[in-house]
A and B are shown apart, each in its own frame.
Chain A
Amino acid sequence: MSRKVYVDVIALFTSEGRVMPHRVRWEDGTVYTVDQVLDIRRAAATKAGGCGLRYTCRIRGKETYLFLDDDRWFVEAV
């Protein structure tokens, strides 16, 4: 079962009114750069629970989901 881990995110508020995650600080303090956002949609976090705006991100070559729930970001950690 995954854990829901809230993370710090540096995000860009675009001129079109979108919020795009830029950097994510994991719970161990490591900061990762989001290389690319592949998809944005509202979705349930089926592994860790809850729901939100789900960003499918490429980080260091891997696809990861980053959820924005109200004004907090979370990831589904193993």
Chain B
Amino acid sequence: MERQILHVDCNKFYASVECCLNPDLRDKPVVVGGNEASRHGIVLTKNEIAARYDIATGETLWSARRKCPDLVVMPPHFPMYTKFSHMVRAILREYSPLVEPFGLDEAWVEVTGCRRDPVDIAHEIRCRVKEELGITVSIGVSFNKSFAKLGSDYKKPDAVTVFSRENYRELVWPLPAGDLLFVGRATKKKLEERFLYTIGDVARADPAMLQALLGKWGPALHAVANGRDSQPVVPVEEAATVQSVSNGMTTPRDLTDDWDVQRVLTVLAESVGRRLREQHFVGKTVELQLRDNQLNTRSHRVTLDHYIQATDDITEAAYALFKSHYQWKRPLRSITVGVSHLEPEDTPSQMDMNDSDRREKREQLDKAVDGLRLRFGDKCIRRAILLEDPELTGESLYDTHTVHPTGFSGKTDEIGGDQ
């Protein structure tokens, strides 16, 4: 049976939610942006009117205001976006149990085998979301996930696009190869060096050449471009397997020495560790992303020979990575710490005769601290290192980690860096 898949994309999600909550904003150019005082002053999303001024996601608010002096900048209200996201998903689940969210504002819905025409379903969802929630969605309908996603991007806002076996060569193939999911900047550049600019170019290319160019991902990309994408729609309960836990921070001032970095790493590791413990995971790989004040980004990672969970262990590993890779050519602007290669915390692991006992104690201490914070608030107990420079380390990241717009966080292979 031919698969029928919808990809539902909430248009300009954060800005739409803000405009829905505050109708006075509807006719004004609006962006949702971070806090400029703490240097998170970038455009997270913009409404249609602001888009007309050529304001781009990720642009600084300062530059956006230059393009549009009447710009209304709203601070983000993440709990509200999460609420709207859940309400959209609740509507989608009325049509199929197979709903796979992709970020807060996108989801695939598999309606294969439904008695109704998938295009009718798509239009009904589009109308319902508009009437019931006051925001718009664009929906792609196709026989695989990749084309469905391209479809939701093809015509928007408030539209339905069908990419069928009959029309995909005509409609999908002229699109830029970079529009395909997981084709980020690096892959796109490699393709363009071989004069492969559109999805059609990739579809018609020799799979062996693509393999030589992109490794095992080459033939997979060739198949996707030809409509052979068999990825299943995985409902959220199954997809929820966590791959990694990370926290990043753009600091209120540039970091200029090791001591600054150690403080910030501690704040980040505290949040990462707490989330790992909360979800009962231990991890083996520690990742560190550093961005300097010229916005050059480098990523580094190390895989340990044992699993860790304690804040001190994460800080220690991240700091060691930092010391072995960063030469202080420029001050740092933001740091991200992550732990991946996760396993459930009761996974048996090889004990280290010298350190196991200490590590266990550290983990128990962290759990006791987590318990205190849960009962008495985040500030009831703090590390001394974090008291010295409250401006730099004052914010608790624990409650702010959940939401990152996919457009902002970037595509998979842009993150890479040297590892």
Chain A bound to chain B? yes
Q: Residues on A close to B: CB < 8 A?
A: 1-2, 41-51
Residue B134 contacts which of A1, A2, A41, A44 (CB distance < 8 angstroms)? Answer: A44
Contacts A51-B132, A51-B133, A51-B134 known; A44 to B24 CB distance under 8 Å?
no
Is B348's CB within 8 Å of the partner chain A? no
- The docked-state distance in angstroms from the alpha carbon of A62 to that of B132 is 23
Min C-beta distance of B213 to chain A, whole Å: 48
Q: Interface residues of A: mostly helix, strand, loop or mixed?
A: loop
Which of B15-23, B70-78, B398-406 lines the interface with chain A? B15-23
| Distance between Cα atoms of A53 and B21 in the complex (Å) | 15
Return A71 CB to nearest CB of chain B, in Å.
13
Query: Once the chains are docked, how many angstroms separate the CA of A44 from the CA of B23?
Result: 11
User: What's the A-B contact tally at a CB cutoff of 8 Å?
Assistant: 33
Count B-side interface residues using an 8 Å CB cutoff. Answer: 12
- Among residues of A, the one whose C-beta sits closest to the C-beta of B84 is A51
Whether B131 sits at the interface, judged by CB under 8 Å, is yes
Asked if B132 and A46 make an inter-chain contact with CB atoms under 8 angstroms apart, the answer reads no
A-B contact pairs, 7 of them (CB 8 A): A2-B23, A42-B132, A44-B133, A44-B135, A46-B23, A46-B134, A49-B21
Chain B residues in 8 Å Cβ range of A47 = 23
**Are B23 and A1 neighbours in the complex by a CB distance under 8 Å?**
yes
Q: Which residues of chain B come closer than 8 Å to A43, judged between CB atoms? A: 131-132
| B24 adjacent to A45 (CB under 8 Å) | no
A41, B135: Cα distance in complex, Å: 16
Task: List residues 19-41 of chain B with CB under 8 A from any CB of chain A.
Answer: 20-24
Nearest 7 CB-CB pairs, A to B?
A44-B134, A42-B132, A49-B23, A49-B21, A51-B133, A49-B22, A51-B134
Q: Give every chain A residue within 8 A of B132 (Cβ-Cβ).
A: 41-44, 51
Alpha-carbon distance A47/B134, docked complex (angstroms): 11
Chain B, range 52-96, C-beta contacts under 8 Å to A: 87
Report the separation of the CA atoms of residues A45 and B132 in the bound assembly, to the nearest whole angstrom: 9
Distance in angstroms from A76 CB to nearest chain B CB is 10
Say whether B21 contacts A50, CB under 8 Å.
Answer: yes
Bound complex: CA A41 to CA B91 (Å): 13
Q: Could you tell me if A1 and B24 are in contact, using CB atoms closer than 8 angstroms?
A: yes
Task: Tell me, rounded to whole Å, the shortest Cβ–Cβ distance linking B190 to chain A.
Answer: 45
Residues from chain A with a CB closer than 8 A to the CB of B130 are: 44
CA–CA, A49 and B133, complex, Å = 10
Residue of A nearest to B90 (CB): A42
CA distance A75 to B21 in the complex (A): 14
Q: Is the CB of B20 within 8 A of A50?
A: yes
Chain B residues in 8 Å Cβ range of A46: 23, 134
CB A2 to nearest CB in B, in angstroms, measures: 8
Q: How far is the CA of A33 from the CA of B81 in the complex (A)?
A: 35
